[in-house]
Amino acid sequence: MRKLHEYINNFYSDTADQAIKMGLDRVGSVKNSVNLEPIFPIITVGGTNGKGSVCAFLETIYSKAGYSVGCFTSPHLFKFNERIRIDLEQVKDKTIIKSLDLINSKKKLTKLTYFEITTLAAMNIFIEQKVDIAILEVGLGGRLDAVNIFEPDLSIITSIGMDHQEFLGDTIEEIAHEKSGICRPHKHTILNFENIPKSMIMELNKLKTSLSILNEDYSYNLSSKNYSFRSNNISMSELPAPQLKGNKQLTNLAGCLRAISLLQSKIPVTLNSIKNGIRDTKINGRLQILSKQPYILADVAHNYDATINLYNFFSTSKKSGKVYAVFSILENKNTEQVLMPFADIVDEWFISEIKDNRAQKIDVIINTLKKYNNKVVISKFNTLDKAYENARNKSNLNDNIIIYGSFFAVSEIMKGIKI
């Protein structure tokens, strides 16, 4: 039988020359050809940061409640199967290949991107496996993202920040408009972040979506012992704090609990299931502590807001010794904004280029670091594995290593890491 990673690599090569094309006509026509008409409830999750964590909370809580849960996320960290899960388990290679073959046979001459085909394949699997609920993470933007061809019962927008400007626009208002595209008239929309653009609220009110706004329609509180949630239709206290690290996870959890409360009549969940789900929610590569001596922290922070979140967590949790950073990123990201928060606290940078034709050039990374600190210490390597190995060998037990940047960078290092 064909191996999935080989199939995916060949498949990716076949579609690599197809630039991202924002639009739903092509993918919508193939959806109709395959007759993908889900009858189960769908939660669509969009936003600049926090999408993966929100999906993980929802997926785990609903699974603990006894439902069969389909979850589609992207990108993956280690293997493609991470993108398509049912009941917290990655779908098997054979099932994914069969579904991809079906989509390929039905699309005929229609050109689809890698993400569009895999989105259709995931939904086909969820329909065939008769899941009770599906959670879909938006890949890019929202309005014209492939996920948006499926009608959600509830939409969550986790945050609005500057990322993917080449596709979504150069202002917060333009990006907010694109992300608002996952919302539907007379269906629930949760805006799970602060400083919401007024234009976004006005647009969604015109759409006549049923809005839930953080700190207006629902809120949360963390005491020394417990997490509590309150809204206009439910109140929960003595909940466990999330195992996922960082203050942003407290907000992410609140958005999930609001979603669960709004869908309670359709998909009821007990308090005990919520508690168990919160305790068991895990996600790799997000403020993940890999070692305590030395302190090694990995995070896929690749835009400004995510980097500030990483900085805030690291600055309050790090040890008193030296700080080493292992870093790389793709060229389509704002390298300056991702490096700047750490420019003054990192003692030495260990950098290499990602094994991808979209990798940011190492000279660009070096010049950016020197722009913020002309005395910066930089060591460059041919591979990220070597970069990490040298940082690890240089570290004492009281030192710190931050591994961050692109998903590709964190993945490449974590695959071979030995703690």
- The pLDDT value given to residue 99: 96
Q: What is the separation, in whole angstroms, between the first and last Cα of the chain?
A: 34
How many whole angstroms from its chain centre is CA 372?
29
pLDDT tens series, the chain, 419 aa? 467 877 776 665 555 445 556 678 999 999 999 999 999 999 999 998 999 999 999 999 999 999 999 999 999 999 999 999 999 999 999 999 999 999 989 988 888 888 999 999 999 999 999 999 999 999 877 788 899 999 999 999 998 875 444 444 457 677 787 888 899 999 999 999 998 988 889 999 999 999 999 999 999 999 887 999 999 889 999 999 999 999 999 999 999 999 999 999 999 999 999 999 999 999 999 999 999 999 999 999 999 999 999 999 999 999 999 999 999 999 988 999 999 999 999 999 999 999 888 899 999 999 999 998 888 999 999 999 999 999 999 999 999 999 999 999 999 999 987 65
Task: Answer whether 0.85 is exceeded by the pTM.
Answer: yes
Hey, which residues does 222 pair with through a beta bridge?
227
Task: Round to whole Å and give the CA distance between 94 and 100.
Answer: 10
- Tens of pLDDT, residue by residue over 227-272, are 999 998 899 999 999 999 999 999 999 999 999 999 999 999 999 9
Is the Cβ–Cβ distance between 363 and 339 less than 8 Å? no
Delineate the domains of the chain, giving CATH numbers in brackets: 4-280 (3.40.1190.10), 288-416 (3.90.190.20)
DSSP E strands, 258-386: 288-292, 295-299, 323-328, 348-351, 378-380
- Tell me 81's DSSP state: G
Reduce the DSSP state of residue 322 to 3 states and report it: coil
